[in-house]
Chain A
Amino acid sequence: MDMVLTLILLPIIASILLLMLPNQRAQYVVITAVLFFLGIGAFSLYTSMGLLTFQLSHTMNLAIVAADVLLLLFFLYQGRVFNHPKVMALAAVQLVLYGYIELIAPESGSAEIMVDSLSKFMFLIINGVGGIIVLYSVKYMEDEPASPLKKRLFVGGLLVFLSVMNLIVIANSILLFFFLFEMTTLASYLLIAFRDDDVSRANALKALWMNQIGGVVILLGALVAIIGFKTVMFDTLLQSSGGMVLFSIALLSMAALVKGASIPFEGWLLGAMVAPTPVSAMLHSATMVKIAPYLILKLAPALAVSMVGGIISIIGALVFVAASYLALSRSVLKEILGYSTVALLGLMMALAAIGSEESMNLAMALMLFHALSKALLFLSAGVLERLHHAKDIEDMKGMVTRSPKTVGFILFGFVSLTLPPFGLFMGKLFAISSIAALLKEHPSNLIILLSLIVGSALMVLLYFKVASALLSAPSDIRASEAIAIPNGFNVPLVLLSFFIVIGALGYIMLQHNIFVVLLALPMLFVFALPTLIRRMDRYDRSQPYHCGEKESFNAALVYYEPSLKLQRILYWGFGSLFVAVAIVGALS
């Protein structure tokens, strides 16, 4: 338990320290130390056995209730200040619901805090990836046009957010979970609005009201649980059967769909891309949105063979395809990454909701590797934004000559998302074979299989389309006018790449399958290529072929824009599927 407490308290202490330390070097020292301890703590917890439980005292519970009410009042106030009726309405609804629930809530039965193996796994993602992102953000914020205090608040805020995340994955009480869920919503809201211009504000409010829908459905779920089973604990709820249990579970998993920004809620996550890059990396791809698959994984025992689980996995799988497709029409790098995050979250939820042991393991593996790869990609995008002022992939043409190393990191990120032997690819591969094995019993999985296959193909198209913009060097004999990456950016990127490789190796070793190891062979060959480059001097360098013209051309990027009609169909379709989750839950 001490270890868990460390994970929760250490970031808070560190953030207070940071606020008092103006010196950048000192900041680095603090963050590195924190990162080190968090990493060690998370890892040793991950390797430890057993279930830890903890009961909150009465005063603590009261404090949480008070904080929760304050939080909702703050949302209400924000809605009033910015005159946003949706925010106000949803906050008010939550206030009423929450008040009512606290009135009828039973005295707590089992422990509010429970650390199981899933939470331990989540610690690994949150502290490992999150810590690296905090490290990166110090350098990133240096050039931000904001006051020094605000910058330090930003970094401190990210650290506090880590401890919120650490807490949310061990919450066993639905009400505690709700509170922390709202805390993450608050974090999104504040950090998206960080730059405080019109666009940021509008997008932040959008994120606020959409996420509050999640809050409402959690509360509804809790209400059903209380009325039906007199409990607000996840574990008791999951153990009970019959009656309204599936309805409650369905409502809770709808919250996951909202947090995971499944279509039609993907708007908030894309809007979040106006925030500083570490925010996008931390909240909107690597850690916070992982609550979605986490929640589904937590509920998986109940979802496993039910209609609700079926419909959620179908939604997830369809989102995987649809979001990959929609991404093809975008040109801002971070938005493209955002869409692909939405897509992959859909896939993870689909796998989690299938609920077989194997698919759940796969969902977890995907979560880890996705967090690593996406963090790497986002941080590299941030480097391009800072050093080359390029956000749009149209501005990144030929970036490889200007910033070869960053492009290398981005390409590595893409490769780690699509090719063997990296974790994410392996996850998809095993997913195909495990779903195929399930096909005979559940033919409906054919939809998921099909979406998985088509979605992966579309993702390849997406990533390599972006790669096309970055590459294209005229020749290798001109002196390059490359800008070096400062160490503040370089170290986190190298760390992430290192972990991707280590993760892939570990994952391969776990399979005990000689063929899987062999899949890694081609990669070795590719890595060996650079050493061959020196031997290439004896070949003549020549101009690319341009029909005999001397001028070099600029190749255009291809965008695949879905028609308006199709988009409308998509949104209505996914909207009704979302509602259908509740209906199916109520009926079964």
Chain B
Amino acid sequence: MIWVWIALAPILGGLVYGGERVLRARMQRRQGPPILQPFYDMFKLLDKRTLIVHAPHALLAVAHFFVLWFSVAAIFLGWNLLYIIFLHLFAQLLLILAGYSVRSVYSHIGSNRELLMVVAYEPILILVAVGLYLVSGSFEVSQILKSGGYLTQLPLLFAALLMIVPIKVKKSPFDVGEAHQEIVGGVEIEYSGVFYEFLYMSRFLEYIFIYSFIYLFGGESHWLGALLVAGVFLLVNLVDNATARVRPAQMVKIIYTVAMALAVFNLAGVLL
């Protein structure tokens, strides 16, 4: 059963993404695309002639997608949270290398920003893992889901996690990595056709990845988890529609001062 879910993860993520586009449209009082739009896009991309800059560049995107899928699968299988985080880092670094491997300014800037994003959210993710460990006594996702009370013990840590969700799903105010108006999508820029499709799908997986972390805070209660995910989903989109993009340096600063302080404060509180 779990393998079916893993296999369906990109499709699930696609639905979430499609739903989000509709939701954002409704927030702006427009009709928006159909909910299956991401899949139409995917099918269309398959039907395009594909241009690449060079072979390693294109293949790294494929590797990025599969490693990301692997890390999402690891969440579903209930593995160690730290392994999951680092697998995800691995995937991200493949993409960053790809971005650097072409002689294109936007791609380079995109990779730079992507790196800064990693620097910003990685510590918080690990602190979240440590926080969950301190309360539940295990790094294993399957064990974490067996106990509860995370939200009452780790409220500030949850807030810190909330702050990095926009970075991961590339939403304002922290959508510096994509920033279509400035750097035309950053690392994605040199991809087209089939290879862009892999990047497009990895965006779906990112949704699954980061919202799973939110879900973990629900603990044993699936309802609470689902509720949290839904709430955060709404909140993130609301914030996305209501704020402007910050600069990359500001983003790192904000995360390192506010989110980090929240997380450390909370952890210290749990320990003492």
On whether A and B touch (CB less than 8 Å), the answer reads yes
Chain A interface residues toward B at CB < 8 A: 398, 400, 411, 418-420, 425, 429, 432-433, 436, 439-440, 443, 446, 449-450, 453-454, 456-458, 460-461, 464-465, 467-468, 471-477, 515-516, 519, 521-522, 525-526, 529, 532-533, 536, 539-546, 552-553, 555, 558
Q: Which of B9-17, B58-66, B161-169, B197-205 contacts A (4 or more CB under 8 A)?
A: B58-66
B210 within 8 A of A: no
Does the CB pair A460–B118 fall under 8 Å?
yes
B268 within 8 A of A: yes
Q: Which of A440, A473, A525 contacts B102 (CB 8 A)?
A: A473
CB-CB nearest 7 A-B residue pairs: A555-B108, A476-B54, A544-B104, A536-B55, A542-B51, A443-B271, A468-B100
Please, how many angstroms separate the alpha-carbon atoms of A515 and B89 in the complex?
Answer: 17
B123 within 8 A of A: yes
B50 within 8 A of A: yes
Does the CB pair A545–B96 fall under 8 Å?
no
Q: What are 24 A-B pairs at a CB distance below 8 A?
A: A432-B130, A439-B130, A443-B272, A446-B264, A449-B130, A457-B118, A475-B53, A515-B80, A519-B87, A522-B66, A522-B87, A522-B90, A525-B67, A529-B62, A532-B59, A539-B51, A539-B52, A540-B50, A541-B53, A544-B53, A545-B104, A545-B184, A552-B103, A555-B105
Tell me the interface secondary structure of chain B in the complex: helix
Q: Known contacts being A461-B116, A471-B97, is A420 close to B87, with CB within 8 Å?
A: yes
Does the CB pair B189–A545 fall under 8 Å?
yes
Closest to B268 in A: A446
Q: Which of B58, B60, B93 contacts A464 (CB 8 A)?
A: B93
Q: Which residues of A contact B134 (CB under 8 A)?
A: 436, 439-440
Q: Which of A398, A457, A474 contacts B123 (CB 8 A)?
A: A457
Write the B165-200 contact mask toward A (1 if CB under 8 angstroms, else 0): 000000000000000000010000110010000000
Extra contacts besides A446-B271, A460-B89 (5): CB < 8 Å: A449-B130, A456-B122, A536-B59, A541-B54, A553-B104
Q: Which residues of A contact B97 (CB under 8 A)?
A: 411, 464, 467, 471
Q: Which residues of B contact A532 (CB under 8 A)?
A: 55, 59
Question: Could you tell me which residues of chain B, from 124 to 178, have a CB within 8 Å of some CB in chain A?
Answer: 126-127, 130, 133-134, 139
Please, how many angstroms separate the alpha-carbon atoms of A532 and B194 in the complex?
Answer: 15
Q: In the complex, how many angstroms separate the beta carbon of A534 from the nearest chain B beta carbon?
A: 9
Q: Which residues of A contact B106 (CB under 8 A)?
A: 545
B22 within 8 A of A: no
Q: In the complex, how many angstroms separate the beta carbon of B30 from the nearest chain A beta carbon?
A: 29
Write the B105-124 contact mask toward A (1 if CB under 8 angstroms, else 0): 11111011001101100110
Closest to A468 in B: B100
B35 within 8 A of A: no
Does the CB pair B115–A476 fall under 8 Å?
no
